[in-house]
Amino acid sequence: MKAALIGCGAIASRWVRSLLADGRIEIAALADPDQQAARALADRYELTPAFATTLDEALALAQVDVVVNLTPPDHHYRVSREALAHGLHVLTEKPLALNLPDALDLVHLARERGLLLAVMQNRGADPGFLAFRDTVRLGGRPPFAVAADALVTLPGPGFRRSQHLPVTTDLAVHAFDQVRTLITAPPTEVTCTETPTGFLASHSSIATITVRFADGSLFTYRGGYIFDSLLRTDANGNWWVEARGFAARWASNPADRHKTTEAEPPAYQRRITAMVDALHQPGIVPVPAAGNLGSIALLDAALQSAASRRSVPVPEVPDVRS
């Protein structure tokens, strides 16, 4: 199969490395309005793709089966929709879309057209975090009080410098994937604020998010892009869970971060391999992104809450299995 990669910024290297390691997908086109970024990516990995500035241009230059959407979050819906409307499978970086109606529209369109739609959820699928989830499920009984801090330093801010509410749209969505594995009751209400903290770094911003759940559980999150400091965490964050007679905490071990082997590749690479497996699955094409709609419902409510400065009910995710 052949792919067009749309967006050639920081995360594109990770995807190219993973797709090259997998070997089943040929990178036939690279599209980015920043042609220097596209050409630098091709040079780094000795690729010989067609170069384009937009998805449309890429599709005119190369025949592809799948679009890999690596654009900034506020472009995700439009790029993924255009690709699906062209009859192409879509693998996209998170978030699937910025609101639930757009995400549902993509899921419905993929279903209708019999196309794969898969979204990256590497933090919610981190093996260390899943082991922590198992500890919580075995040892604790809901309701839970869960807290997480993700204070992240970036080598370069990229799109985040101009993205509205960058922490909520880009970073908190990892935490939404993660907390949904810990607390399985439906979320009911979100309160979110995000405040630029330009005195730390030009793109710095800090968000606080509180989520209430139907079983009484509570999640409090503090996420931020910060100047490099002792407080920094990785994007997995540091987590605490308390329940009656139970407490547990988790932080990914920095020593393990780069300790990946061929037998145990990093979570994002395993997610990409699973997506490529699904592309090659005969019969009904799955829409794994449907399983991520719960995170987009939380994101939708968080963005509305930040804009309105009040608590917002979490929109109900309709049953999209049939």
Sites of contact with ligand NAD (CB under 6 A): 6-12, 31-34, 37, 54, 70-73, 75, 93-94, 120, 122, 158-159, 170, 235, 268
Q: What is the DSSP string of 243-286?
A: ETTEEEEEE--HHHHT---SSS--HHHHHHHHHHHHHT--SSPP
Which residue lies nearer to ligand NAD by CB, 25 or 111? 25
Smallest gap from Cβ 273 to ligand NAD, in A, equals 15
Buried b (16+ CB within 10 A) or exposed e, 246-263: eebebbbeeeeeeeeeee
Sequence-distant (6+) residues with CB within 8 A of 170 are 73, 95, 160, 163
Q: How far apart (Å, rounded) are the C-alpha atoms in residues 166 and 207?
A: 9
Closest CA to 217 of 147, 148, 143: 143
Residue 41's CB is within 10 A of a number of other CB atoms, namely 21
Smallest gap from Cβ 188 to ligand NAD, in A, equals 26
Which residue lies nearer to ligand NAD by CB, 239 or 268? 268
User: Which single residue brings its beta carbon nearest to ligand NAD?
Assistant: 9
Sequence-distant (6+) residues with CB within 8 A of 166 are 159, 160, 194, 203, 205, 225
Helix (H, G, I), strand (E, B) or coil at 62: coil
Smallest gap from Cβ 284 to ligand NAD, in A, equals 27
Which residue lies nearer to ligand NAD by CB, 94 or 222? 94
Place of tokens 């139907």: 214
Smallest gap from Cβ 127 to ligand NAD, in A, equals 15
Which residue lies nearer to ligand NAD by CB, 217 or 236? 236
Omega before 95 within 30 of 0, i.e. cis: yes
Q: How far apart (Å, rounded) are the C-alpha atoms in residues 119 and 65?
A: 17
- In terms of phi and psi (left: phi > 0; alpha: psi -120 to 50; beta: otherwise), the region of 114 is left
Which residue lies nearer to ligand NAD by CB, 184 or 260? 260
Smallest gap from Cβ 94 to ligand NAD, in A, equals 5
Which residue lies nearer to ligand NAD by CB, 158 or 288? 158
Smallest gap from Cβ 156 to ligand NAD, in A, equals 7
Which residue lies nearer to ligand NAD by CB, 206 or 243? 206
Smallest gap from Cβ 118 to ligand NAD, in A, equals 13
